[in-house]
Chains A and B, each alone.
Chain A
Amino acid sequence: DVKVTQSSRYLVKRTGEKVFLECVQDMDHENMFWYRQDPGLGLRLIYFSYDVKMKEKGDIPEGYSVSREKKERFSLILESASTNQTSMYLCASTTGDYSPLHFGNGTRLTVT
């Protein structure tokens, strides 16, 4: 089975802090994604990557950046956390075709 592991289940940070969310997948997938999930808004795509060192903006990239130095690892960075970035963050991966996404269990981030 594909395993997508997110390093933290819960995270509490202060406004202005730099925050790193880490995601690792063990199936040699080319594509990796970061979504945030908010009540009433569903899952919204922040960034995705289809190869090492490659990245593409999703629908809501403002305030975020990403890093993919190795194929199995995709990091989401909040340069200066704000309270409106309090959310559930979900990482996903898939192969390079039209296969379904495999999700991690999420990181619930609270910014105070």
Chain B
Amino acid sequence: EDQVTQSPEALRLQEGESSSLNCSYTVSGLRGLFWYRQDPGKGPEFLFTLYSAGEEKEKERLKATLTKKESFLHITAPKPEDSATYLCAVQARGGATNKLIFGTGTLLAVQP
């Protein structure tokens, strides 16, 4: 069964303290892996798509990487405005177009 597991469930960082969020997946052929950011009371906002092992994407203080079993979202020198829930989702080959399987998210709190 296709599955996505995110860890940790929650993470508290001091401003400037770099860290990584993990997304491990089990899927019958990966079509794509997506990272989203979700602020309280809002819908998820797209960050990155990764398609193959070894691929990396960057945006400001965020960098996403992908291996055959997991993805990491690295946060470098975070600021309080990076506080949010980060969601990972995978799309399996052979599945319905754009059907995503989501993890339960990592709640990140960055303290000033």
Contacts and interface: CB of A to CB of B under 8 A. Distances in A.
A90 B34 CA distance: 17
Contacts, number: 62
B55 interface: no
B50 to A, nearest CB: 11
A4 B43 contact: yes
Given A42-B105, A43-B87, A98-B91, A48 B99 contact: yes
A45 B99 contact: yes
B104 interface: yes
Given A48-B96, A98-B91, A103 B45 contact: yes
B32 A98 contact: yes
B32 A101 contact: no
B41 to A, nearest CB: 7
A41 interface: yes
Contact of B44 (A31, A44, A45, A90): A90
B interface residue count range (under 10 / 10 to 19 / 20 to 34 / 35 or more):
20 to 34
Given A43-B87, A90-B43, A98-B32, 6 more contacts: A31-B97, A90-B44, A97-B97, A100-B49, A101-B98, A106-B43
11 contacts: A9-B41, A43-B89, A43-B100, A45-B100, A92-B43, A94-B98, A101-B34, A101-B100, A103-B43, A105-B41, A105-B43
A103 B34 CA distance: 13
Given A100-B46, A100-B49, A105-B41, A31 B98 contact: yes
Interface of A: 4, 9, 31, 33, 35, 40-45, 48, 50, 56, 58, 90, 92, 94, 96-106
A106 B98 contact: no
Contacts of A92: 43
B97 A104 contact: no
Contacts of B34: 100-101
Nearest to B89: A43
Nearest to A4: B43
A21 to B, nearest CB: 13
